[in-house]
Structure 1
Amino acid sequence: MRAVKYIGVATALALAAAGCNGDEDTASPSAVPAGLESFYEQKPSWKDCEDGFECTTVEVPLDYSKPSGDKLGISVIRLPAQDSSDRIGSLLTNPGGPGGSGVDFVRQVGRAFGADLRNRFDIVGFDPRGVAGSDPVRCNTGAQLDDFFSTDASPDDEQETRALGTEGEEFAQNCETKAADKLPHVGTVNAARDMDVLRAALGDDKLTYYGASYGTYLGAFYAEQFPKNIRALVLDGAVDPTLSSTELLIEQAKGFETALRAFAEDCVANGCPFGDSADAVVTRIGDLLDDIDKKPLTSTRDDREVTESLAVMGIARSLYVKEYWPVLRQALTKAINDSDGTILLGLADEMVDRKADGTYSNQTDANMAVNCVDKPTPQNLAAYGKAAAEAEKSAPRFGPFVVWGGVPCVYWPTQSAPEPKPLTANGADPILVVGTTRDPATPYKWSENLADQLSSGVLLTFEGDGHTAYLQGNACITNAVDDYLVTTDPPKNGTTCR
């Protein structure tokens, strides 16, 4: 899947060194790392940025091994606590990606956090390094990304495979040409270190954090490096840091297949116009995609053809949120009955943050830049083809698209991180991991696995659909998460909400 929202095509995860062991004192925050005092001691200058929000920029080193060298500006936003007399501190958030704007996230949903959190915390978002307002990585034009996303990501022959490789190579070359100085430094290891600078700059002795999807790995990575600096961490829609890049992609593809079947069952229960059983609906969708592969759909949105890859992206976008299922039903009906891909194309554009004027945010460029440096990936097209074939066996609708989406990493100019290992965060106070049983993008077992790996992990389960659980309106989840963030007392391990 090309730049799947929240988790990304190659699922940015990595393990780096700098963890602390469980024998060390965790009663107080760790000392400021030597040479970084000027960053930790900075006092942000907050300015009004409309609608009750305040914004600032926090400075971090481009390269933490050279703190006196080039600097980056991290864009930060906050929604101040409603009850300043009972304020606990800041709740730092990350919506995932990699490539998602935390500033936009807080602007859009900051007021949707629970009442207790709104009263007692500043709700804070930030754009990670290389993303949106934080010295963004920008590689490709809108036209180049249009070509990248429309290219057949389920190649049927050698010619189509070579075309995918060409698109991937051009993507990587564009990033090397336009952002070579940033590429080695945009990975999760540095973003997690930036979070500790932010914690100090916000005036908090310890970090209170909510992270979704990729944001769960960013939070777990923070815990691995700074276990003594944790007050409370919620990791919602977790990823499993022990899996290889291709293992993660294959499992993610399975997650989309699970979500598609859940959609199909719901469609049948409500009188589905293109099938009278879940099997029939899923088969019909597969047949539609085969037809689109042979003859792309038209769209009244613009003059682009709606290729198979764009149609799959549109379907995937609808599976992230159950409230989108009626839209997906309408989109598929129009595609099947009228060969009209307008709605599917609109959903695909939303997935990758394409604007009506043909421009894109830097979400896709940043997504790939982080993914390609965070974890080793197959280094040739043949290896990708083998992984895609394996994925297709268990995820026939999504497998090839998800796996082939990371092909630019074959040509990436920056060396990737070491092989992944478990994250344990030894010595950290309880960390709450939230998993959704039919999550399309971060399969539930990833949350189970991360909760098991973390020395203080506590698992909270949402029996339901959609990507991540908090902010989805389930009172049981909201109350459990809010109580933990306020009191630091997690729910009982294994608690399930329905």
Structure 2
Amino acid sequence: MRAAALYGTIGSLILTGLTGLPTTPAHALDPGRAEARGVALAARQAAAKGIDFDTCPAVEGLNDTVECGTVSVPLDYAHPHGKHISLTVSRSRAGGGDAERQGAIVFNPGGPGGNGMFYPLLAGLPQWRNIADAYDIVGYAPRGVGRSAPLSCVNPAGFVKGPTDAPEHPTAAYKKRQLTKARAYARGCARRGGAGLRHFTSLNNARDLDVLRAALGEKKLTFMGASYGTYFGALYASLFPTHVRRMVFDSIVNPDPRKIWYGNNLDQSAAFERRWADWRRWAARHHAVYHLGRTPQEVLASYEKASRQLQKRPAGGTVGPAQMQSAFLKSGYTDSHWARDARALSAYLRGEDGPLITLAAPDAASARAAENENAVYTVVECNDASWPGSWETWDRDNSRLAKKAPFETWSNAFMNLPCAYWKGPRQRPVDVHIGRRSGLPPTLLLAAERDAATPYKGALELQRRIAGSVLVTERGAGTHGIGGGPNACVNRYLDDYLLDGRLPARRTYCGPRPEPRAIG
């Protein structure tokens, strides 16, 4: 489940056959003693070497307040003396005095496939000032992402081209074409990734995090993960509970092994339908500004009219129904996009293509990064768990769901479909249960009740599985990634925890942020 906002992105891929990988039983990649010894060795070596921070390469797009370096991690922790890969790391130094300093805080934005190198830029935002005074803010690109041993499954030049279609109720012929694409995508991952592809997993992301902790000179880790970052953060807490100082989980993936990852993607599609309805209700209340309809049903009719027109004549020659749907899906992540999307749709229906083209047209300049993100997402999720290998199962489950949640269901399913044909080894997902005697300190969980990318039930499930965890809920809100946002109540609890280690009651609520203003 790819999820993003401040932190990640959506998506899923289908199981496809990786013919270049040996078939291995599902239990073959389970965590074991050999991997544990490998992590300990790699961490000792990283602690001795440290990170040689220097000016960041221009390609990272960071300003001169941020410095960059690399940390070496084993490709395969069962063989720590074998091949190593380099992970890129970024850092902004704590701005406060020596008395305020609390070490480093490491951030991950989600994904799989999210690049966290930008995180030190948070130090310049008012909401993060207190945390930035106390901590070195550290971001990094996980294995496979960006310049960290990057993965690729297809030629990036053709990855983001449009226009394309996005039927909510696809025909049998359309489904057949998507099956062909899914098989080809999986074969591309296998061919380009080679034998090492099997080691790009959530468990290895958690192990890499411990090596990064050691390289930073931190005896215990302070970590904030969002979206997918909460999942491998939970794996880290399971593997290394005594290595944790403080840990924040923001917008939480359901860690139930039965949900990793096929079930989580079905839940996500259902939740996006609710957020799509939230946007349509908002647009209807502002009919006087946007003229999209006085009811949610009329707003939907306006959207569907635009989709039909784009099917016949793509805007700018590149924006078809799929490009518009992908752009509007982002409103499910954050309501800060609501007015922007309503303006673009309104202008398009009045005959003005420009705002919709600006919003949704494929961007050739970002094609390489987008293809890399999608490749990492696919590889990690396909490697992490066993997916249904029968197309009949996918067709049945998604056809049933699309009857009540058509907006994202099939686009999400087709994105994940390569996993149906994956020939590589699969892990058995870790059954996260962390008791009070594990040594894990109390942790902070943040979630919005109407989050679509990581539905709220996931936060309740993780709290049940981590003893001593405290959940702060933003009521009636649906933005994905709420820490450091506009809600002062949420930010107060975040500051209290990260700065002083103080937590509220086990289940605490904050009122929702104001809905966005209608801007014509």
Q: Same fold judged by TM-score > 0.5?
A: yes
CA apart distance, 1:317: 1.5
- Identify which of 429, 444, 451 aligns with 1:432: 444
How does 1:217-366 map onto structure 2 within 5 Å?
Answer: 217-242=231-256, 243-271=259-287, 272-286=290-304, 288-289=306-307, 291=308, 295-300=311-316, 303-304=317-318, 306-338=319-351, 340=353, 343-344=355-356, 346-348=358-360, 354-356=363-365, 359-361=368-370, 362-366=372-376
Give the direction of change, closer, same or farther, for the CA distance of 1:339–1:399 in structure 2 (3 Å limit): farther
Task: Give the TM-score of the pair, scaled to structure 2.
Answer: 0.84
Q: Give, in whole Å, the separation in 2 of the partners of 1:259 and 1:155.
A: 20
How does 1:399-418 map onto structure 2 within 5 Å?
Answer: 399-418=409-428
Q: Give, in whole Å, the separation in 1 of the partners of 2:13 and 2:123.
A: 25
Give the direction of change, closer, same or farther, for the CA distance of 1:343–1:218 in structure 2 (3 Å limit): farther
Q: Give, in whole Å, the separation in 1 of the partners of 2:167 and 2:210.
A: 39
CA apart distance, 1:52: 1.1
* Gapped regions of structure 2 (runs ≥ 5): 15-25, 57-62, 512-520
| Residue aligning to 2:11 | 9
CA RMSD of aligned residues (A): 2.9
For 1:177, the aligned partner's letter is R
Give the direction of change, closer, same or farther, for the CA distance of 1:238–1:35 in structure 2 (3 Å limit): closer
- Identify which of 450, 457, 460 aligns with 2:472: 460
For 2:138, the aligned partner's letter is V
| Residue aligning to 1:175 | 189
CA apart distance, 1:437: 1.4
Give the direction of change, closer, same or farther, for the CA distance of 1:436–1:460 in structure 2 (3 Å limit): same
| Residue aligning to 1:96 | 110
Q: Give, in whole Å, the separation in 1 of the partners of 2:78 and 2:313.
A: 51
Assess if the C-alpha contact under 8 Å between 2:163 and 2:321 holds in 1.
no
Give the direction of change, closer, same or farther, for the CA distance of 1:31–1:412 in structure 2 (3 Å limit): closer
CA apart distance, 1:363: 1.2
How does 1:382-421 map onto structure 2 within 5 Å?
Answer: 382-419=392-429, 421=431
Q: Give, in whole Å, the separation in 2 of the partners of 1:194 and 1:149.
A: 39
Secondary structure of the 1:489 match is: coil
Q: Percent identity?
A: 28
* Gapped regions of structure 1 (runs ≥ 5): 21-29
2:459 is equivalent to residue 441 of structure 1: no
CA apart distance, 1:422: 3.9
For 1:263, the aligned partner's letter is W
After the TM superposition, which of the residue ranges 405-414 and 420-429 deviates more from structure 2? Answer: 420-429
Q: Give, in whole Å, the separation in 1 of the partners of 2:76 and 2:325.
A: 38
Q: Give, in whole Å, the separation in 1 of the partners of 2:157 and 2:337.
A: 28
Assess if the C-alpha contact under 8 Å between 1:139 and 1:365 holds in 2.
yes
| Residue aligning to 2:60 | none
Q: Give, in whole Å, the separation in 1 of the partners of 2:357 and 2:430.
A: 36
Task: Give the TM-score of the pair, scaled to structure 1.
Answer: 0.88
Give the direction of change, closer, same or farther, for the CA distance of 1:81–1:100 in structure 2 (3 Å limit): same
CA apart distance, 1:417: 1.7
Q: Give, in whole Å, the separation in 1 of the partners of 2:141 and 2:272.
A: 27
Deviations 1:78-113 (A, max 9, x none): 010012412110010001111111103434x34235
Assess if the C-alpha contact under 8 Å between 2:42 and 2:73 holds in 1.
no
After the TM superposition, which of the residue ranges 211-220 and 384-393 deviates more from structure 2? Answer: 384-393
Q: Give, in whole Å, the separation in 2 of the partners of 1:68 and 1:135.
A: 18
CA apart distance, 1:37: 3.0
Secondary structure of the 2:159 match is: helix
| Residue aligning to 1:370 | 380
Q: Give, in whole Å, the separation in 2 of the partners of 1:368 and 1:378.
A: 15
- Identify which of 162, 167, 170 aligns with 2:176: 162
Secondary structure of the 1:410 match is: coil
- Identify which of 39, 45, 52 aligns with 1:45: 52
Deviations 1:448-492 (A, max 9, x none): 221122122211001223212112221111111111011222222
Give the direction of change, closer, same or farther, for the CA distance of 1:154–1:441 in structure 2 (3 Å limit): same
Assess if the C-alpha contact under 8 Å between 1:213 and 1:239 holds in 2.
yes
CA apart distance, 1:286: 4.7
Q: Give, in whole Å, the separation in 2 of the partners of 1:281 and 1:211.
A: 35
For 1:57, the aligned partner's letter is T
For 2:296, the aligned partner's letter is A
CA apart distance, 1:347: 4.1
Q: Give, in whole Å, the separation in 2 of the partners of 1:347 and 1:380.
A: 37
Q: Give, in whole Å, the separation in 1 of the partners of 2:414 and 2:30.
A: 29
For 2:87, the aligned partner's letter is I
Assess if the C-alpha contact under 8 Å between 1:7 and 1:214 holds in 2.
no
Give the direction of change, closer, same or farther, for the CA distance of 1:153–1:165 in structure 2 (3 Å limit): farther
Give the direction of change, closer, same or farther, for the CA distance of 1:390–1:415 in structure 2 (3 Å limit): farther
- Identify which of 483, 490, 498 aligns with 1:470: 483
2:210 is equivalent to residue 192 of structure 1: no
Assess if the C-alpha contact under 8 Å between 2:470 and 2:503 holds in 1.
yes
| Residue aligning to 1:203 | 217
After the TM superposition, which of the residue ranges 208-217 and 308-317 deviates more from structure 2? Answer: 308-317
Number of residue pairs aligned between Structure 1 and Structure 2: 478
Give the direction of change, closer, same or farther, for the CA distance of 1:487–1:37 in structure 2 (3 Å limit): same
CA apart distance, 1:345: 5.5
- Identify which of 113, 116, 131 aligns with 1:117: 131
Give the direction of change, closer, same or farther, for the CA distance of 1:403–1:246 in structure 2 (3 Å limit): same
Q: Give, in whole Å, the separation in 1 of the partners of 2:4 and 2:413.
A: 11
Deviations 1:9-64 (A, max 9, x none): 2399x9986599xxxxxxxxx99725753234321111133421111100000000
Secondary structure of the 2:50 match is: coil
After the TM superposition, which of the residue ranges 78-87 and 135-144 deviates more from structure 2? Answer: 135-144
For 1:250, the aligned partner's letter is L
After the TM superposition, which of the residue ranges 218-227 and 386-395 deviates more from structure 2? Answer: 386-395
Deviations 1:206-251 (A, max 9, x none): 1111111111112111101111111111100001011243321121
Assess if the C-alpha contact under 8 Å between 1:11 and 1:248 holds in 2.
no
Secondary structure of the 1:409 match is: coil
2:80 is equivalent to residue 67 of structure 1: yes
Assess if the C-alpha contact under 8 Å between 1:153 and 1:405 holds in 2.
no
After the TM superposition, which of the residue ranges 57-66 and 417-426 deviates more from structure 2? Answer: 417-426
Give the direction of change, closer, same or farther, for the CA distance of 1:75–1:34 in structure 2 (3 Å limit): closer
Instruction: Tell me which stretches of 4 or more aligned residues in structure 1 moved more than 6 Å.
Output: 1-5
